[in-house]
Amino acid sequence: MSHGLTERDIQAGINDAWHKKTHVVDTVTRDNSMPWDVSPHPVFTYDPKSDNPEDLIEIPKTKILMANDDGLPVGQPYADTYHPSTVDKFWNIIKKSLSGIEYKVISAGSIFNRQRIFASIKLTDSFYVGDREFKDYLTIIDSFDKSTSLQCKYNNICVVCANTFAVSMQAGQKVGRVKHTKNLDSGLDDLIESIKKFTHQSEIVKSKLHKYHQRKVSNDEARAWFTAIESGNLKEITNGAKQKVARLMELYESGKGNQGETQLDVFSAYTEFYTHESSNRKEEGSQYIASEWGTSATKKSQVFNSFESKFDDLVAKGDEILENEKTLDVVVAS
């Protein structure tokens, strides 16, 4: 069940998703995607001082969330230092932050037995960089299992290759993220302000993609950048990383929409690989989970955030790694 949908979960959308389990609707709302909410309840255990198995005592400073429709738990017990949000607050963020703005929720729901909730929202028209069409939208996510904070991310998809990447929303120095602490409610106001900056964020991403399209990059520079990225903190490249670099070069030169000429081709090759090919797991949908929720999503976001400022430094590092590899090959051969 790599899609994460259980019998208690719903994913409502205006189009059917990859898992073919979407509840397709004309308009995605709270009622057709998350028709429930959670509330905290005390947690009890057997009284160790009693021989009667029906005697229970409350565990101090511990709660568990229960759903208001089926009465079943959502997530695990938690200490009083953890302050979960609610479905109602989640949808109020959307309503308050986008008041007066034309928007459309294109997908929303829960996964992993209601322990994580999400909504994807379209706000702007698509834009073009060269011949590539890009669409951007907001994704708001939260969890009841402590796996993530309540946060908003800017998501972008290149239509020709269906590559995606996400960028954390920012409002000044405030990142669009609220931790589940006692300051949760006050942090929601900051998050709402962050979401209101979406149009500005969209223009920033559009400008950067245009810059990447205009900068010419040689095959050697592309190979060096891929080498540095896949080598991480190592000063040499592993066999596994070599195979990835070889595939990334193929995508750079002939991936969907790529011609092997520009910095945007480098970025598109990277996002194409980590959107569609990075997972080695065989389960249906495992690539989607990795691409949009897991390590691949993190990698794509980190690369975009530093792509412009660190590109030349990474090319230099990759050149050094490749040169050392050549020297090592000569030594071994002799």
Q: Which of the residue ranges 3-12, 72-81, 311-320 would you say has the lowest mean pLDDT? A: 3-12
* Residue 129 to residue 148: CA distance in whole angstroms: 33
Of all residues in the chain, the percent with pLDDT exceeding 90 is 55
Q: Sorting pLDDT into bands at 50, 70 and 90, what band is 313?
A: very high
Q: Cβ contacts of residue 171 below 8 Å, gap of 6+?
A: 190, 193, 194, 196, 197
Contact (CB, 8 A) for 217 and 261: yes
pLDDT at 285: 52
* Residue 17 to residue 92: CA distance in whole angstroms: 25
Tens-place pLDDT, residues 90-124: 999 999 988 888 889 999 999 999 999 999 999 87
Burial of 248 (0-12, 13-18, 19+ CB in 10 A): buried
Contact (CB, 8 A) for 223 and 213: no
Whose CA is closest to 179, among 83, 294, 61, 292? 83
SS3 content of the chain, % helix, strand, coil (to 5): 40, 25, 35
Q: Where are the beta strands (DSSP E) in 5-93?
A: 11-13, 23-24, 38-46, 56-67, 78-79
Per-residue b/e over 274-313, b at no fewer than 16 CB within 10 Å? Answer: bbbebbeeeeebebbbbbbbeebbebbbebbeebeeebee
Tens-place pLDDT, residues 219-251: 999 999 999 999 998 888 999 999 999 999 999
pLDDT at 288: 54
pLDDT at 323: 93
* Residue 118 to residue 103: CA distance in whole angstroms: 16
Task: Give me the amino acid identity at 103.
Answer: Y
| Structure tokens that stand for 74 in this block | 């959502």
Tens-place pLDDT, residues 131-162: 888 888 888 999 999 988 998 887 887 765 55
pTM over 0.85: no
Strand pairing report for 78-79 and 56-67 = antiparallel
pLDDT at 192: 86
What number of H helices and E strands is found in the chain?
9, 14
Tens-place pLDDT, residues 170-206: 544 344 789 999 999 888 888 888 787 766 777 888 8
